[in-house]
Chain A
Amino acid sequence: MSKDNQILEDFTSQEYEHGWSVDLESDQAPKGLNEDIVRFISAKKNEPEWLLEWRLKAFKKWQTMTEPTWPNVKYPKIDLQDIIYYSAPKKQKELKSLDEVDPELRETFSKLGISLEEQKRLTGVAVDAVIDSVSVATTFKETLGELGIIFSSFSEAVRDHPDLIKKYLGSVVPATDNYYAALNSAVFSDGSFCYIPKGVHCPMELSTYFRINAANTGQFERTLIVADEGSYVSYLEGCTAPQRDENQLHAAVVEIYVMKDAEVKYSTVQNWYPGNKEGIGGIYNFVTKRGICAGDNAKLSWTQVETGSAVTWKYPSCILKGDNSIGEFYSVAVTNNYQQADTGTKMIHLGKNTKSRIVSKGISAGHSQNSYRGLVDVSKRATNARNFSQCDSLLLGDQCGAHTFPYIEVDNSTSQIEHEATTSKIGEDQIFYCNQRGIDTESAVALIVNGFSKEVLNKLPMEFAVEAQKLLALTLEGSVG
């Protein structure tokens, strides 16, 4: 079977006795999950007592919870006792030159137009000292530091800014929010923390790409972004390059706290390993992403391009608490072969004159299943709330599925809700028309799909958008004709 299983097997064959005591000197926790493991992780990271308590509370609650079965996805049951929850960040094997990199991976890189230096960085080839990414990152950090912006790994933030973490951790996604969020809260390994001070307009896109120590993000990642009053930040997660990862389950949590007059733009390109053409292997991506517009006139915008993972289960949401606050969700989700995606958003209107906008583009090919699931909830006191939702599905071939589950709950009669949905197929007529103009079928599909997704791609930061376009084409390669 896959590499994943091979690795699991390797670990299984290691010595392991029930009733062990955790060795704090060890670089790796034994397989399985119990209270001792949670304590082990916390101790390994030298966490303060309150954070350990927080983890333990999450763990206790998690033990009483059951895995959700409502998403429109099917996968074999995950044995959570078969996972190693802590291992010290390992250094990537250093390669001498790009010639040592898997040729298939290199071909993908070149199709995406990723520069040679970038390719080296991504594959762990030793990088020339002059263009060392660490020095780039250092300059980057200095600029941010002058503005008072904090951008660091989660562990560093726990150490250096415990008050901020204590105040905001779990403030949007409580430790016990749902099965996977609770699991993440108990065992999260690391992640990112970002704080934008009052009135500061972050002058550059913040990207995990530039963050030192970002290489080993682990499978239980936790991101916390706090935008203080009147501030602005655009945050990028992921990259278009293929992510080879041996962990099968990914259960991340992203929390965003947006204060009065502040704005956060959060963009994701997700390109985890989707499994092979027969649907074997691939990542299970079960993510909880939520932000709150806590103050008046706050704005939170999610943009996502989802092309990877075998199973995706993800609903970046906005709680619109402040009056006049705005929530946006722009999504392109592509599934091919045997991929399954159940993704969408929740817009919770609490404040007056709150506005939300949902634009979801689902593209299904092969034998894949692609579902949009969304909730628009208008509470009693959300006078004059407005929502506009648009959900479009594009089908390639006749073996795939597109599904839409829009939920609307309205408790205030002054609100205005609009929902539009379309389903279309890439027609043979369209392909033939392109062919007749000299455009080959692969390029034709890319053109049509990018046209279909344009509204969302336009929301991405410029350099990201170009790569994302290529990524869409690459994901759908071989799906037609």
Chain B
Amino acid sequence: MLKIENLKASVEGTPILRGINLEVKPGEIHAIMGPNGSGKSTLASVLAGREEYEVDEGSVTFQGNDLLELSPEDRARAGVFLAFQYPVEIPGVSTTNFLKAAVNQVRTYRGLPELDAVNFLKEMKEKMKIVEIDQALLRRSLNEGFSGGEKKRNEIFQMAMLEPTLSILDETDSGLDIDALRIVANGVNTLKSKDKATIVITHYQRLLDYIIPDFVHVLYKGRLVKSGGKELAHELEKRGYDWIKEEQEQISA
């Protein structure tokens, strides 16, 4: 589904990603872990098409197409979803109105008829259950005055509504208490299917107790330096990232 080959990217001339290789198949959950500043969020932003990030080399293929060729909105419409680490506030625009615009633009792109108000609300009511979100929240301005937990639940709710093929969760666990973490993880697990894939970007393995990854990769200084199963996450939890750093320094020495 997703194939990243030798991806190199920089921000304002500073190289951040230094050659990423990763293949994600339908049905898989990949976790990308790593110390702060290793390039985790950059990878998410590059995949989503954020303008400030310059792709210097390499390729990204999504469902057989060149993902890097597409505009950010077309990537979203083609089925790439990014749950933001810091969801953006849009004053005066309710989550409901925002999502209606989004869902219908996505549907049009996918050759589906637009949803009218009745069917949209019906769809919304169903998906609301998944993340235990309250309708009152959806009437408020998007993310404005939302608590950390509400923002992240809202991200997963949007994911449920947009039905992406590839979801990238960027530090979705940051700033969540245990209850919110459980709700968010439940949502992700409910939406899991054999033709969809998820990339979970996280600093801690805590979230991975709830969302069980098939693969765990360690990102360090812009490269995926280690890959393994979910036990790698446990090892990182126990030993921290220092041993990875030491290993890497030995290799380069």
Report which A residues bind B (CB closer than 8 A). 427-430, 432-441, 443, 447-448, 450-455
Contacts and interface: CB of A to CB of B under 8 A. Distances in A.
Given A433-B88, A438-B105, A428 B51 contact: yes
A451 B51 contact: no
Contacts of B90: 430, 433-434, 447-448, 451
A439 B73 contact: yes
Given A438-B105, A443-B101, 12 more contacts: A433-B87, A435-B49, A436-B72, A437-B76, A437-B158, A438-B102, A438-B103, A439-B102, A443-B105, A447-B97, A450-B92, A451-B92
A436 B48 contact: yes
A429 B109 CA distance: 23
B228 to A, nearest CB: 30
B201 interface: no
Nearest to B72: A435
- Interface size for chain B: under 10, 10 to 19, 20 to 34, or 35 or more residues? 20 to 34
Interface in B82-126: 82, 84, 87-93, 97-99, 101-103, 105-106, 109
A35 B93 CA distance: 55
Interface of B: 48-52, 71-73, 75-77, 81-82, 84, 87-93, 97-99, 101-103, 105-106, 109, 141, 158, 162
A432 B50 contact: yes
Given A433-B88, A447-B90, A454-B92, A438 B51 contact: no
B93 A448 contact: yes
Contact of B93 (A427, A428, A436, A450): A450
B88 A430 contact: yes
Given A437-B98, A437-B102, A451 B91 contact: yes
Contacts of A435: 49, 71-73, 76
Which 6 residue pairs across A and B have the least CB separation, nearest first?
Answer: A451-B92, A451-B93, A435-B72, A437-B102, A433-B88, A438-B106
Nearest to A443: B101
Q: Which of B48, B92, B99: most chain A CB closer than 10 A? A: B92
B188 to A, nearest CB: 18
A436 B76 contact: yes
Nearest to A440: B73
A129 B141 CA distance: 47
Contacts of B99: 437
Contacts of B77: 438
